[in-house]
Structure 1
């Protein structure tokens, strides 16, 4: 059983539509895929409608949070999307994305980069605009070679020359809200040092005490020693460990299912969730 619990579509900063994503997940041999767009559940309906037979969809979102001045992403699974307090917080984060992206564009222009807001808006399309869209504009302009190369202090990394803050959740509030909505929380890529400053293990322990369910261990931004260290930390704190591609379509080099979650861990996530249930596919044929 192959399970990928972290992917993105054009509803946020991926390049596959939600329908394309689930079809591609089935073609990649996945049995379970989670759609976890940034701070939005807008892609879920399209994904469910196109879900091939034999593929199960886990609904979710990746919530933007900040603790002690350090940004972190919290994967929230199988929560009730209509729970009003959590929905209101997601909306606040989404609404702040456009002014934040415009600020980054202005900072880049001040640095001599000939980027225009219209270019970023075109790249984002109907998705929730974010740093990857600005990074893609830098790639198009030949300023950097890849989206990953834009996430450095020189450009868009936390605290970087063109970085701009946005509204972000306190992770303790986010855990409380997701749990109140019947969901399960996993700290995404907690040791991705190349993205900027990371949350210290002491803070992860505080989050675990507040009800965090797990940490994402097997991820493209974690090397083997880091994964081993995170597994030990998870064991000490009683946290689940997941593996995921963090797939963004053509925006990143990683493929669907390149990193996966153990079926027993997936089973425990579904047992803990009460806000929603995994959706079995029946919307279309599974690709050969």
Structure 2
């Protein structure tokens, strides 16, 4: 099985890269994509675990972006695979995202602290020194404090974009991000494009312009894409010549996603890697 969308403790996952690779082996995964949010800090540790785990590694990153819909920004997550980590524009964006994530998280915690017994130190203790702090870490701190029972409840009650504690995150236009990924020799894949439970989604017809801009593929099979919309995504991807991906978006404990619950076929993986800047790392 090939699962190309997962997260480690370097972003909002609960397992170290080595633990993630071992979990992938135990789940019967042959090739794993590590795609932490806006960071590549876990790449080296994951690569070091390839031989022991026997699992091939696709290095990637889930990049925060937005689509401008008549002046209204809609959040977009773009999976970047096998790109040059030193490419200047994408590297600069990665650093801007890292610093802005910290500032944003601090602002959210400050708002929460006005009403709830939570502090920035609580969140940092949960996240650890190497992670890019984000809302999932704040959610975990709310769980530890006994304010909510789960991450899901924390997001529903306190951290959703519709709530009073929400702070908008920094991002760049999705067309800039696609261009930077391609300039870095990578491949851009639109993550969970129909995830309606997360908020407003990009209009389906926007895929036309993204395909023209160099989008490689679409994550059609993802638990957050409703079954009723996957057929439309498939039809649109076929119309535009975009490759179709399926992934778990596994985070470890705290989320129901399970490794290998959706997968990508080997032919698509081969085309993804063909001509990319980085190679797939094999045992």
TM-score category (smaller protein)? over 0.9
Contact 1:7 1:35 in 2 (8 A): yes
Contact 2:194 2:229 in 1 (8 A): yes
Distance in 1, Cα, partners of 2:67 & 2:162: 15
Match of 1:97 in 2: 101
Q: Aligned with 1:121: secondary structure?
A: helix
Corresponding residue to 1:79 among 72, 80, 83: 83
Q: Aligned with 1:16: secondary structure?
A: coil
Match of 1:8 in 2: 7
Report the Cα offset of residue 73 of structure 1.
0.4
Contact 2:21 2:53 in 1 (8 A): no
Distance in 2, Cα, partners of 1:166 & 1:224: 29
Match of 2:278 in 1: 276
Q: Which moved more, 1:127-136 or 1:56-65?
A: 127-136
Structure 2 residue runs of 5 or longer lacking an equivalent are: none
Deviations 1:238-263 (A, max 9, x none): 21110111011113111111111122
Q: Aligned with 1:186: secondary structure?
A: strand
Runs of 4+ aligned structure 1 residues displaced above 6 Å come to: none
Contact 1:120 1:133 in 2 (8 A): yes
Match of 2:218 in 1: 215
Distance in 2, Cα, partners of 1:105 & 1:53: 38
Distance in 1, Cα, partners of 2:46 & 2:179: 27
Contact 1:101 1:131 in 2 (8 A): yes
TM (norm. structure 2) is 0.93
Contact 1:85 1:177 in 2 (8 A): yes
Contact 1:158 1:197 in 2 (8 A): no
Write out aligned runs for 1:183-194 (5 A). Answer: 183-194=186-197
Work out whether 1:239 is the aligned partner of 2:238. Answer: no
Contact 1:151 1:195 in 2 (8 A): no
Q: Aligned with 1:26: secondary structure?
A: helix
Report the Cα offset of residue 53 of structure 1.
5.4
Match of 2:113 in 1: 109
Work out whether 1:136 is the aligned partner of 2:140. Answer: yes
What is the alpha-carbon root mean square deviation over aligned residues?
Answer: 1.5
Contact 1:53 1:280 in 2 (8 A): no
Number of positions where the alignment pairs a residue of Structure 1 with one of Structure 2: 277
Distance in 2, Cα, partners of 1:228 & 1:141: 42
Q: Aligned with 1:64: secondary structure?
A: strand
Report the Cα offset of residue 236 of structure 1.
2.0
Work out whether 1:260 is the aligned partner of 2:263. Answer: yes
Q: Which moved more, 1:174-183 or 1:247-256?
A: 247-256
TM (norm. structure 1) is 0.92
Match of 1:57 in 2: 57
Work out whether 1:173 is the aligned partner of 2:176. Answer: yes
1:196–1:150 CA distance, 2 compared to 1 (3 A): farther
Match of 1:286 in 2: none
Distance in 1, Cα, partners of 2:191 & 2:231: 16
Distance in 2, Cα, partners of 1:231 & 1:150: 33
Contact 1:191 1:222 in 2 (8 A): yes
Work out whether 1:35 is the aligned partner of 2:31. Answer: no
Q: Which moved more, 1:234-243 or 1:68-77?
A: 234-243
Deviations 1:156-213 (A, max 9, x none): 2234321112221211111111101100011111111111111111222221221111
| Bigger relative contact order (CA 8 A; separation at least 6) | 1
